[in-house]
Structure 1
């Protein structure tokens, strides 16, 4: 296996490509707001901001974000916690050519939910979801591991991502589902005609 295979994810527009179990499939494709769904499955929901700064976009991000190559972007990474337990690691990038008018709230989110802002703004256009299973050496798997104090994951992590556009700016949200998500079970899904609210 090449180094590229170890650090890249194979993203697909169809969830069947990642072969999720029934409960995980519901988390991946559900049209319901992820913030709302997590809140409904826990007594306390919290967004824990890990970092927000400039950094190079990942090797499997620049194409979908419309960048000609790996370039610096604004990054935001958080853990979504239910009753104190981290269940989702979320990674968001915004290209540096986006203006303050495109994403006026991004720099001041703190530990507020990005998804609540995106979902409530009628000027935000949501793209289609993509799905992947992230190998152990993928940068997001490694970052999630560090955020969980070095936890080693027994199998590849399920992830999904969605590109958003507002005015001329784009924003890419990737959600990595952590093993503890299995303890939350699932809720009845809404019709899949609408895309979910991603929450970072």
Structure 2
């Protein structure tokens, strides 16, 4: 991604010799050019993270890794947080948009360990726990109310009597798309039993997945 940022500024910046473009530069050189030529506003923590990545890569290349699995997992999470932020800040789009859907759950698990509490997800600023809840909501197809299962109402299918609702492509509260289940606790979701507002009605909801908190 760092080389891509350099290439977008000038295609010759990614070569060791700009007069004879053949071999591309190392990550260390790419970092130096970002700082000294492009004057990219990288924070001290960003620079330390990149240098840590270089160090770990060199260890792996020379079969000299002496870190524990836990240490490597922690470092991977830190690196993933950096590349997520870098992609958005300097390449103009979300890294999430370039991750295959079958890997979104892995992404959400990594995001939980980010040091920053907030991040951009689906073009909105959300708490780091949101992606996990967002994905888990897709698998909750019904609410159990006093022992009876009621199929959940998907976003876009809500009907409140004579009130006509206008739906956007995404729910303004929980960001799900038309036809998807709301994230439990969203104040737009309609109760499938009484058809009132799910978070404020008197129905007693039970959700099997205890990892999801629902304020109803």
Classify the TM-score, shorter chain: under 0.3
Q: Which structure has more RCO (C-alpha within 8 Å, separation ≥ 6)?
A: 1
Higher helix share: 2
| Larger Rg over CA atoms | 2
| TM-score of the two chains, using structure 1 as the length reference | 0.22
